[in-house]
Amino acid sequence: MADSTPSARPSGRPVHVIGGGPGGLAVAHALRARGIRAVVLEKSDRVGSAWRGHYDRLHLHTTRRLSALPGLPMPRRFGRWVSRDDVVRYLEKYAEVHELEIVTGVEVSRVEQAPDGSGWLLHATGGRELTGAAVVVATGHNHTPYVPDWPGRESYGGEFLHAGQYRNAGPYAGRDVLVVGVGNTGAEIAVDLVEGGASRVRLAVRTVPHIVRRSTAGWPAQRTSILVRRLPVHLVDRLARPVAKLSVPDLSAHGLPRPDTGLYSRVKEGSIPVLDVGLIDAVRAGRIEIVAAVDGFEDGKVILADSSRISPDAVIAATGYVRGLEGLVGHLGVLDDRGRPVVRGAHTPENAPGLYFQGYTNPISGNLREIAIDAEKIAKAVVKSRGDALSRLPA
């Protein structure tokens, strides 16, 4: 979807934004609003491609008001917890309203500093070489599905899929399904399967999660998360314990004891609490059975960490994603040992000035909210860097 009003585009060397999801669109608008030309490069044929591929029942766990991107509120008709399809509609409208310059069908494979040191060189599909003043990488926190290297998995003859391939419970009605992983995705897929008529649903858990009510007496968990995210970790951990005991029943008898580490300590390690959308009730009722973690596959069976073996009809691996940035920017020395950007938001690596990363966090305060905040910060940083460069030019 290319911008149909080129005369309205700001002039000057462009900033290339890689990725047409919420992060990329928000940055493009923030830059355009400051008179800087931003060109969004999206590998698919439409914006919001990752959102289009999520499972059908997905709704934001953050509120509509706190999930809007800069310059366009989400419509009231979307309700408090916005659905996947409405998020996609919003992103399409966002690009249209702000007249963003978006080029679809272009996948950037490698980013390099320009030979003359004046900017960046992007290698893209079709042999394209694009140059720009700065680059914002916004390909998404959940980019490449991750599946552990379980022994025997490749020889397993049963149905096996990553959660990214799951759409709805229809194909699993009347079947025995094992969901591996108890993050928000795994928990919600397990609930979806139960409600969709699966005959048996088991949820394999390696690390017991913190479970938080998405909303309590009308107060969303997101607002609490925003209030406490700047407090000391140990203090939030201490405050969270009595709240959890009051709001979440003890599920120890069902295989989900209370975690022995603090909620915010887990967040700092990258583990977001599970926001309850039916898991608690389903576990208490025995409709979702908690089992040990998966250790491998053998003779058509799944081997669990407690040495038991089970034979589900299907296995859905809700085992997360990796950023997939190594081929794009790994050669620049800007990633840590887990493939994550060493700096994000308005900061650029010391050895790669003008290279920004947007959306590579998963904060308890809400991913879309932080994306919106970082978009403005990145745009301001780009403006400042351009002003600094001009001030260094000889008179």
169-227: pLDDT as tens digits: 999 999 999 999 999 999 999 999 999 999 999 999 999 999 999 998 899 999 999 99
320, 354, 377 - which closes a domain: 320
**What's the distance, Cα to Cα, between the start and end of the chain in Å?**
41
Based on the fold, state whether residues 73 and 35 are members of the same structural domain.
yes
* DSSP per-residue string spanning 81-122: S-BHHHHHHHHHHHHHHTT-EEEES--EEEEEE-TTSSSEEE
Place of tokens 């997905």: 58
Tell which residue, 111, 99, 34, has the closest CA to residue 375. Answer: 34
- The C-alpha atoms of residue 342 and residue 347 are separated, in whole angstroms, by 10
Structural domain for 371, as ranges: 6-143+323-392
Based on the fold, state whether residues 333 and 382 are members of the same structural domain.
yes
pLDDT band at 370 (very low <50, low <70, confident <90, very high): very high
Residue 8 clears pLDDT 60, i.e. is over it: no
Q: Is residue 297 part of a domain?
A: yes
Contacts of 265 (CB under 8 A, 6+ apart): 233, 234, 237
291, 320, 349 - which closes a domain: 320
Q: Which of 59-63, 361-365, 366-370 has the lowest mean pLDDT?
A: 361-365
pTM of this prediction? 0.91
Residue 284 clears pLDDT 70, i.e. is over it: yes
Quick one: what percent of the chain has pLDDT higher than 70? 95
Q: What is the CATH number of the domain that holds 173?
A: 3.50.50.60
Based on the fold, state whether residues 247 and 339 are members of the same structural domain.
no
Residue 226 host element (H or E): helix 221-228
Based on the fold, state whether residues 211 and 239 are members of the same structural domain.
yes
Based on the fold, state whether residues 328 and 239 are members of the same structural domain.
no
Dihedral angle computed from the Cα positions of residues 368, 371, 373 and 375, in that order, rounded to the nearest 10 degrees: -140
What's residue 133's pLDDT? 93
Based on the fold, state whether residues 164 and 103 are members of the same structural domain.
no
* C-alpha 75 chain-centroid distance: 22
Residue 1 clears pLDDT 50, i.e. is over it: no
Based on the fold, state whether residues 152 and 121 are members of the same structural domain.
no
Q: Is residue 19 part of a domain?
A: yes
Tokens of 93: 């409208």
Q: Is residue 278 part of a domain?
A: yes
- The C-alpha atoms of residue 112 and residue 131 are separated, in whole angstroms, by 10
> Which DSSP symbol is given to 83?
B
Number of domains in the chain: 2
320, 340, 363 - which closes a domain: 320
- The C-alpha atoms of residue 323 and residue 363 are separated, in whole angstroms, by 16
